[in-house]
Amino acid sequence: MDADTSAPPQPTLDSFHRNDGNSEYLQSVSSESSSFIMVQPKNRLETPSRVWVTTVVVIVIVLQVASTTGLFIYLNMSVDQARTQGVVEELRCLGLLNALEKDQDVPEDLLPLFGEPCIKLAEGLKAYISKVTENIISKHTFQERVAIPPRTKLLTTGSPRPSAHLTLRDSGLQGTTSLTPQTDLHQSCRHPVRSWGNQSFGSHLHNMTVSNGRLRIPRGGRYYLYAQVYFRYLTLTSADYHSGSVSHQVVQCVYKKTAYARPIQLLKGVGTKCWSPDSENALHSIYQGGLFELRAGDEIFISVSSPTAVYAEDSSSYFGAFLFDL
């Protein structure tokens, strides 16, 4: 009986994969030998290329930052150097110009020493100083024009400026009261003149009032006051004739009555005249005028030393005041 014996299978060339942890191998199986072929992994091929690219990028960035920083530092140093040099040149130029006399032009032989930039700088400074000076002067003038005192603004609204020109009426003194000395006045002129009026030609009274010979100030301000009284002596005594000459002393005063009890003397005029015995009349006049700061409610009046010698005449005896607009 023949026994069926089957022969063992012969090995064939066949390959399979083997994974040994981190590497893969191709294994070939044969009857005589076995061999393994190593396959390179993909990760190890890609890692060096990424590192190289990153290194190049970092180097480029560092070089760019370094070059930018260096350029910035260089520019700053150049600007500082130019600025310092310019300041030194300007100071030198100003020193040379200051050595010259005021408003003196630069001589032609010194033009090369100063240089064109220095000359332009000097001209620019002169022009700037002139412009600033003109602006300051014009601004100051404008402010003075705008800053008008309140009392002056009232005058521009259409109301007439306070003023008065009064003349002496028929009798230089009104009643016997003026013949009685007023004790609170100076002893040389204690007789107030009361008969002032505005009925004659040329006299007027605007925004002011007069009462009992006193001119009342309507509002505060600087007023120009003026007065003139005509003195006339009609009769001379025989004793005066025998003396060879006749002399009389006349005094005229301008007073201001305020809230104080005693009037304030503003002006005083004194005249002493000698007349010949052959003269028919002894004539004399005193004129006074002045600018005064007055308040609303002040009263101005005239007083004399010789009440009987006061002569009423429109063109010779007068009294007035007006607001002076500064």
In the beta sheet, which residues pair with residue 16?
27
189 among annotated binding-site residues = no
Residue 306 belongs to what H/E stretch? none
CA distance 226 to 292: 11
User: Both tokens of residue 52?
Assistant: 């190289």
Residue-by-residue DSSP string for 38-80: EE--HHHHHHHHHHHHHHHHHHHHHHHHHHHHHHHHHHHHHHH
CB neighbours of 59 closer than 8 A, spacing ≥ 6? none
CB neighbours of 41 closer than 8 A, spacing ≥ 6? 22, 23, 24
Could you tell me if 206 and 163 are in contact, meaning their C-beta atoms sit under 8 angstroms apart? Answer: yes
Residue 322 identity: F
Could you tell me if 272 and 247 are in contact, meaning their C-beta atoms sit under 8 angstroms apart? Answer: yes
3 state SS of 109: helix
Q: Which stretches of the chain are assigned E, i.e. beta strand? A: 14-20, 23-29, 34-39, 163-168, 191-193, 196-197, 204-206, 209-211, 214-216, 221-233, 246-257, 264-275, 282-294, 299-304, 310-311, 318-323
Q: At what angle do helices 42-99 and 116-146 cross, to 10 degrees?
A: 70
**Annotated binding-site ranges:** 274
Q: Which segments are annotated as binding site for Zn(2+)?
A: 274
